[in-house]
Structure 1
Amino acid sequence: MDEESSSFLRNEYWILRHGKSIPNERGIIVSSMENGTLPEFGLSIDGIKQAKLAGELLNQQVEGCKAMRENIRICYSPFSRTKHTAEVVAEVLNIPLEGPQCKAMVQLRERYFGPTVELQSHEKYSEIWTLDEMHPFGAFEGGESVADVVSRLSDALAAMEAEFQGCMILVVSHGDPLQILQTILSAATEQCQGQDQDQEGDYSGDNNSLDSRIKSITVPSVLSQHRMFALETGEVRRLI
Structure 2
Amino acid sequence: MAETTSFARNRYWILRHGKSIPNEKGLIVSSMENGTRPEYQLAPEGVSQAKLAGQLFQKVLEENSVPLENVRICYSPFSRTRQTAEVVASVLNIQFEGAQCKMMENIRERFFGPSYELMSHDKYHEVWALDEKDPLLRPEGGESVDDVAYRLAEAMAILESQFQGCTILIVSSTYDDLKSRIQAVRTPSILSEHRKFSLLTAELRAVI
Pairwise TM-score range, normalised by the shorter structure: over 0.9
**Count of residue pairs brought into register by the alignment:** 208
Match of 1:137 in 2: 136
Identity %: 58
Conservation of the 8 A alpha-carbon contact between 2:2 and 2:206? no
* Secondary structure of 1:115's aligned partner: coil
Conservation of the 8 A alpha-carbon contact between 1:76 and 1:83? yes
The correspondence of residues 69-218 of structure 1 with structure 2, limited to 5 A, is 69-174=68-173, 177-184=174-181, 214=183, 216-218=184-186
Shift of 1:2: 5.1
Residues 46, 180 of structure 1: alpha-carbon distance in 2 compared, 3 angstrom cutoff: same
Conservation of the 8 A alpha-carbon contact between 1:183 and 1:225? no
Match of 2:31 in 1: 32
Q: Give the TM-score, by structure 2 length.
A: 0.96
Question: Structure 1: how far apart are the matches of 2:152 and 2:93?
Answer: 27
Conservation of the 8 A alpha-carbon contact between 2:22 and 2:28? yes
More helix by share: 1
**CA-atom RMSD, angstroms?**
1.5
Match of 2:3 in 1: 3
Runs (4+) of structure 1 exceeding 4 A deviation are 64-67
Shift of 1:184: 2.8
* Secondary structure of 1:160's aligned partner: helix
* 2:199 is aligned with 1:237: no
Q: Residue type matched to 1:97 in 2? A: F
Question: Structure 1: how far apart are the matches of 2:2 and 2:110?
Answer: 28
Shift of 1:64: 7.9
- Residue by residue over 1:123-147, the C-alpha shift from the partner in whole angstroms, topping out at 9 and shown as x without a partner, is 1111101100011000012110001
Shift of 1:183: 1.9
2:187 to 219, 227, 232: 219
Match of 1:14 in 2: 13
Shift of 1:7: 1.4
* Secondary structure of 1:228's aligned partner: helix
* Secondary structure of 1:74's aligned partner: strand
* Secondary structure of 1:63's aligned partner: helix
Question: Structure 2: how far apart are the matches of 1:45 and 1:61?
Answer: 25
Residues 219, 56 of structure 1: alpha-carbon distance in 2 compared, 3 angstrom cutoff: same
Question: Structure 2: how far apart are the matches of 1:151 and 1:60?
Answer: 32
Structure 2: give runs of 5+ residues left out of the alignment.
Answer: none
Question: Structure 2: how far apart are the matches of 1:179 and 1:45?
Answer: 25
